[in-house]
Structure 1
Amino acid sequence: MVPEGKVEVEKTVRATLGDVLGLTPERVASFDDETPLFGALPELDSMAVAGLLTELEDRLGILIDDDDIDGETLETFGALTRFASAKALQ
């Protein structure tokens, strides 16, 4: 069973990806833990990463330090969701 907070974080990550990258709700809804993001989504370039992280900070009420981000953070939808959950639910 997934704690309610994690479900809310996942919904927020999906909505933020859709809004920042201009992805359709159907496309974002199809993402699972293994869906590749950075390097696989042409919309998610280095400029979009900055906007995505800033928007996640605002929507989740978290602070993301540059040292928190590494190559694995944005590798897959699951990795990004776990990262956001760890920050938001600590």
Structure 2
Amino acid sequence: MERRSVNDIEQAVRAVLRDALGLPEAQVAAFEADTPLFGALPELDSMAVAGMLTELEDRLGITIDDDEVDGDMLETFGALARFAADKVAA
């Protein structure tokens, strides 16, 4: 598999948040590493998490185990992007 840059992974995470949650492009583009996600975005509720994670798996070619999913990885955009980057690198 091709090597993905951190920027490519961040863009993929942005696209998943936009598409899976129906968020506006401008809102997602403005996300910083410390932008809060779970608990701060009404669109990201417990039901939406499963769809979002499935979309991340599909776009990045990764597998996310249920025991890896926790509040920390969903707390901020940066945490989610780091989690995705770590999975891609594994």
**Using the alignment, how far apart are the partners of 2:71 and 2:34 within structure 1?**
15
Aligned letter for 1:34? Answer: D
TM-score by length of 2: 0.94
Correspondence for 1:84 = 84
TM-score by length of 1: 0.94
Question: How many residues are paired up?
Answer: 88
Shift of the alpha carbon at 1:33? 0.5
Q: What RMSD over aligned residues (CA atoms) do the two structures have, in Å?
A: 1.3
Q: Which has the higher helix share?
A: 2
Shift of the alpha carbon at 1:74? 0.2
How do 1:1-90 residues align onto structure 2 when only pairs under 5 Å count?
Answer: 5-90=5-90
Aligned letter for 1:59? Answer: R
- Contact 1:5–1:89, Cα closer than 8 Å, also in 2: no
Moved over 3 A (4+): none
Q: Which SS does the other structure have where 1:38 is aligned?
A: coil
Structure 1, residues 21-75: CA drift from partner, whole Å, max 9, x if none?
A: 1011100000000000000000000010000000000000000001111110100
